[in-house]
Amino acid sequence: MANRVNTKHEAWAKVIKAIAHPSRLFIIEELDKGEQCVNDLTAMIGSDASTVSKHLSVLKNAGLVMVEKRGNSIFYSLRVPCIMQFIGCVEDVLSSNAKEHMEILKCCKK
């Protein structure tokens, strides 16, 4: 299978890896509500500014967020809001798994 992996799959993996962190998922969720500056995101996440900046850099390098500098402030926004559809799909998977586990538990308790 390794020889069937191509540039497209590597690009997909880069995006998926970029969102594969709880803080980055939180940032994406907050940016879906509207643009945010680094200071506000830092306060919301509860991490230091350098950590939040690193997370934002990962998201930016993956093409998920845009940056706009206004005066002394830097604002971030989602470049592709459709990423929330992917996250919705992840929620569907979790829900489906939970239902399956509940069915298994019902069988075991009988």
35 touches 25 (CB < 8 A)? no
> Which position has the token pair 């206004």?
70
- Say what the pTM is: 0.83
The one-character DSSP state at 1 is -
Helix-, strand-, coil-residue percentages of the chain, each rounded to 5 = 70, 15, 20
pLDDT in tens, 19-56: 999 999 999 999 999 999 999 999 999 999 999 999 99
Beta-carbon contacts of residue 24 (< 8 Å; ≥ 6 apart): 18, 55, 58, 59
